[in-house]
Amino acid sequence: MAEVERTAEDRLREEYFSLLPEMHRVADRLEAEIRYLLLPVSGRLQRYERLAVKSRVKSCESALDKLRRHQETRDFKDRPQEAYTLTSLNDLAGVRVLVFPRNWLADVDRRLRSEFPTWTPDPVKDGGELQAFKYHGYCPQASDRVRGEYQIVSMLTGLFWEVEHAAVYKPDVRLAGITQHRGMQERTRDVVRALRAFEEQFEVLAREG
C-alpha cells in the first residue's frame, strides 16, 4: 500500500504538540512575572477599581489558522512544506492585563515596559485610536523557540473582545466571513466607543467624588 503523503497541516500539528510544553512554560512564567511586577499597582487600587491578569496558550487549530492567514494565498502552497513553522507566530503564549477604569493603562504600561525593554511593541489601534498596548518577545528562562505576548487593555473592552472572539473568530461554518461584513465592523466599533465613553465619564465623576 502506498504511503499517504503528509500535508503541511500534518507537519504543523506535529510541531504544535512538540512546542506545547514550552508554550505552557512561557505563559506561566510571563503571568507570574507580570503579577509580581504589578503588586504595587494592586496595592493602590480603590475599592471600585480592578486589575486582572489572565494567561493562555493558543490552541492548535487557532495557531494553524493564524499562520494560514499570514500567507498571500491563505493556504500552505506558497513555499515548500518545511518552510512553514509555528515559531514564526508572536502569540503562541500570551498574557492579557485588564484594568478598570482605563486611567490605569498608562501606569501599567510604564511599569511593564521598563522590565521588558527589548520586547517589540505592536499596539492595537482602530482608526488611529489606541485600543490596547501589546508587546512580544522571548522569555529565555522558559523557551528560546516560543515567543510570548502581553496585552494591556481596558477591562470592559477586553471582556467584550473575549465574547466577540468566541462568537466571531471561532464561529461555525454558517458564520464564516462575518468579520468582513461592514455592518458588523461598524457595530463592533460602536460598542468599543461606547465602553470607552462609559469609562471616561465614570472617571470624571469618580474624581469629583
Residues 6+ apart with CB under 8 A from 205: none
> Three-state SS for 44?
coil
Residues 6+ apart with CB under 8 A from 33: 115, 139
**What pLDDT score does 172 carry?**
59
Model-wide pTM > 0.85: yes
**What pLDDT score does 65 carry?**
85
- Domain residue limits, the chain: 8-155
Residues 6+ apart with CB under 8 A from 5: none
C-beta separation of 120 from 137 below 8 A: yes
**Low-confidence spans in the chain with pLDDT less than 70:** 1-4, 72-74, 78-81, 168-177, 179-180
Q: Quickly tell me which residue has 496595592 as its cell.
A: 43
**What pLDDT score does 134 carry?**
97
Question: Which superfamily, per CATH, for 8-155?
Answer: Beta Polymerase, domain 2 (3.30.460.10)
